[in-house]
Structures are given as structure tokens and as C-alpha cells.
Structure 1
């Protein structure tokens, strides 16, 4: 689509200018998204997400939903959702809500499905004499589709994770298993044993019934002789942090 192509072109120009040492000031993102994730319960007819323009200039916004491919463009993204308006002009200090509607196409009923909501902000064209480097800013947040009759509760899913010691390419790591039908998004993981602590570089999302391994970032503390505990932080339905802990099974494969 034309808007997306223009945005990509601006991003390329911005990257080239930065590489060349351009000293022009950068235009900053001005669109605030009213949430860090969207939960679509099956019995809802639609969900809304508020966008606010906190800048001093109008912005052109393009929104679409993809199934997880970062490189999907709106014309190629195929998901069972309709988002309106797909394109809008939002004036300064104004707000407008996006409407998200499930088309009714079949999705698994025994677990959550996850998609991604994209919001692309295209800033207005600068004045001809303006020495300003512009960037089109793309934000992506998770969209969870939650069937009506799943077993258990999403808020207790993080506490249900089980952890054990494993190896990745011969190096120690911890592995989380999610026995629930809900997705669990982890932002922080650390292991303590005998007064020592090991951290992990990045979090990740453990899908329903899935297992995900996390390599140690700064050494191993789990020897099998000293009891080890995993302390981890996840995000709830509104993006608030939830702290949990669980014993680490220290028998590595």
C-alpha cells in the first residue's frame, strides 16, 4: 500500500542519514496506544483500543493485524479480524478508538491464539526549509483471542509453569513448560541457589502446552546439589507485572 511504502522509504532515508552522521534533529513518535496488549474474549462482539495524539502536529495512522510475521504488510496479512478504521488522520491532542472485530472464522477452542496489532504512525511532511529527519514509527502489541470455555484462569497460569535445568548447544539453560491453555509472557528470569544468582538476557512467551528454553546470561548456579529457585516476572492482561517463583528441577538432559 502507498502509505506503507512511503513509510519504509522514510525509514531507509533515516537509517542512511544516521549512518552518514547526519546531525538533523529527529521527529519523535506522538501516538500513545491505550494498552500494551489486547485480550479478545470469544463472547465479545468487538474490542476497542484508544489512540491519542500527544504531539503538536496531525499524524496519519495505519493499523493492521498479522499472525506473527514481522515483515507482513497490510495487503498480505491474513487473520480472522477486521480493524477499523485501517487508516486515519488524527489531529494534535485528539483521540480515536480502533474497533477490532472477529470475523467468526474458526480458531482453536482448547487454547488461546495470539496475533499482533500494528500501529504505524506517519508524521506530516516537514516544511521545505526544515532541517529535520523524520521517522515513521511502527508499534506492535499482542492480541490474544481467548475461547470462552478454557479450563482454568489466565491470572493463575504463570504460577503453573514448571522449570528444569537443560542445555542449549552444550551450555546450561533453564526450560519452562506451560501446562495451561493460556499464553504466559515472561519479562525477567533469575535463578538463585546457595546465595548465588544467575540472570537471563531476555524473556519470551511460553505458549499453551509449550516448552521454551532460556540460556544463562551470566553463569550457572544450579549444580544439582544445592536446591535452586526460579524467580520470574510475567505480564497480566493489562500489562502489569506479576512476580512468581518455583523450584528448579536441576537434572539436566
Structure 2
């Protein structure tokens, strides 16, 4: 009886917290593209709940202590209920690679208001999104970068390995990378991002000797939309994927 009561209370608490988070602070985008030709980029923070205080900052994607050459203004802001706040991202003008796209992270944290005389559980909710810095004059096209990925299914140490290499100068974010054949289908990885020049490997069950293995994945474009891609893999050969729906208008 006690166990059922505790479970019911935890379930109710989860629903309350979920409703509070969904009704609170939110961002109007899942990513920011910062073009090197621009002096700044911006994002809107909306407050659908009670008056809130937010703190914002940028850090490096590698989680090092080295500060990123960016600033957010205002770093601290109070947003009234059902109002919004524009955050401006400023680049120092140097410190980022000029031959490829780079990624830093924007953090927006809601600071809970103090509640006096009550026993309450307060949560500091932090949202973290990627900021893609694109230098001026960068070769290639970010929209076509997913097609430049080179995929290969090979056998190593008696196990099948799916390899992907990104020869482009842009990051490629993907979701639902799957392999399928007449006999089986599997998810190689739920989500991943391949940096410029990076190569990644995933252990899979699909036999590397199989021919005609179908690869499918969704690439996430600059607007946060998912664009499906597909390719036919054959043992030991590197191939590129083709969009099954255009991402130019997504």
C-alpha cells in the first residue's frame, strides 16, 4: 500500500514539474547559425510562466576551461510573465578556426525565485543549444554536406562496423541512423554529429558481407528540420547518400 502511495505521489510530482517546465522559459530555435560576415546573432527567449530571471553564457563544445571568444548580452535578464527577451551573441573577431565550421554552446538557465515560508522543491532548468560559427568565404554548401558523407560497412575482428567520414567543412547532425536488409533492420545510432574531417564508427549486427544493405538517416538542417537520406551499402565500398526529400526549402 505504501509503495503504491509513493509511486502515485512521484507520478503526480512528475506531472506538476513537467507542466511547470513546459509553461516556463523556452527558446525560439533549436540552433543558431552565426555567419562570420555578421557582427552578431540573436535568439528570442519566451516566458510562458511567471516572472523569471535568466542567466546566459557561451562555452566551448569540448567542455574545456578555455573561454569561448563570444559574449551574450544581456548575461542576466528578468522576463515578465508572457513576455520575451532578445539575447544577442557577439563574436570577439578572432579565436575561431577560419577554414571550417566550429561549434560552441549557448546556455540559458532559469534561476528559481525564492519562496519564503514554504516547503517547496525548486529546480534550476538549463537549456543548451549549439551555435554553429561559419567563417566568411567557407568553401562548399552546408545544405549539401550530408551528401558528402562517406559511409562504409566493413568487418573488423569478426564484427561488423559502420563507418562514416565527413570530408566537408561543415558539421552534419543526424538522427535515426538505421541499416536494413531483406532479413533484418536495426538502429545503428539514435543521434550523432560528425564534425568537419571527422570519422566515426558504430558497432552493428548487420553482416558486413551483405550486399544491398539499405542505410537511412535524417539530417538536421539549419532550421531544425529533418531531411531524410538513403544509400545502398555493399561490403567494403564507400558510398554517399542521397536526399529522398529536398532540404533547400525546409
TM over 0.5: yes
Question: What does residue 247 of structure 1 align with?
Answer: 232
Distance in 2, matches of 1:89 and 1:60, equals 4
Q: 2:17 aligns with which of 20, 26, 31?
A: 26
Question: What does residue 114 of structure 2 align with?
Answer: 125
Distance in 2, matches of 1:196 and 1:116, equals 38
Question: What does residue 103 of structure 2 align with?
Answer: 114
Distance in 1, matches of 2:58 and 2:97, equals 18
Q: 2:144 aligns with which of 153, 156, 167?
A: 156
Q: 1:187 to 1:169 in 2, by over 3 A?
A: farther
Note the C-alpha offset of 1:132.
3.2
Distance in 1, matches of 2:194 and 2:162, equals 13
User: Which of 243-252 and 188-197 deviates more?
Assistant: 243-252
Q: 1:178 aligns with which of 161, 166, 185?
A: 166
* CA RMSD, Structure 1 to Structure 2 (Å): 2.6
Q: What SS does the corresponding residue of 1:63 show, helix, strand or coil?
A: strand
Are the counterparts in 1 of residues 160 and 206 from structure 2 also a CA contact under 8 Å? no
Q: TM-score, normalised by structure 1?
A: 0.80
Q: Which ranges of structure 1 fall in alignment gaps of 5 or more residues?
A: 1-17
Q: 1:50 to 1:194 in 2, by over 3 A?
A: same
User: Which of 224-233 and 179-188 deviates more?
Assistant: 224-233
Distance in 2, matches of 1:201 and 1:212, equals 11
Question: What does residue 230 of structure 1 align with?
Answer: 215
Note the C-alpha offset of 1:168.
7.7
Question: What does residue 88 of structure 1 align with?
Answer: 77
Distance in 2, matches of 1:69 and 1:209, equals 16
Length, aligned pairs only: 225
Cα distance per residue 1:125-150 (max 9 Å; x no partner): 23423x53211011110001001212
Distance in 1, matches of 2:234 and 2:166, equals 15
Cα distance per residue 1:179-220 (max 9 Å; x no partner): 11000011110012235212124321100011111233xxx2
Q: 1:84 to 1:158 in 2, by over 3 A?
A: same
Map 1:207-226; keep pairs closer than 5 Å: 207-216=195-204, 220-226=205-211
Q: 1:64 aligns with which of 57, 62, 86?
A: 57
Distance in 2, matches of 1:247 and 1:151, equals 28
Are the counterparts in 2 of residues 163 and 249 from structure 1 also a CA contact under 8 Å? no
Note the C-alpha offset of 1:228.
1.2
Map 1:179-218; keep pairs closer than 5 Å: 179-216=167-204
Distance in 1, matches of 2:135 and 2:70, equals 15
Note the C-alpha offset of 1:169.
7.8
2:30 aligned with 1:39:
no
Distance in 2, matches of 1:125 and 1:116, equals 28
Cα distance per residue 1:61-80 (max 9 Å; x no partner): 1111111255x7xxx56011
Distance in 2, matches of 1:170 and 1:60, equals 55
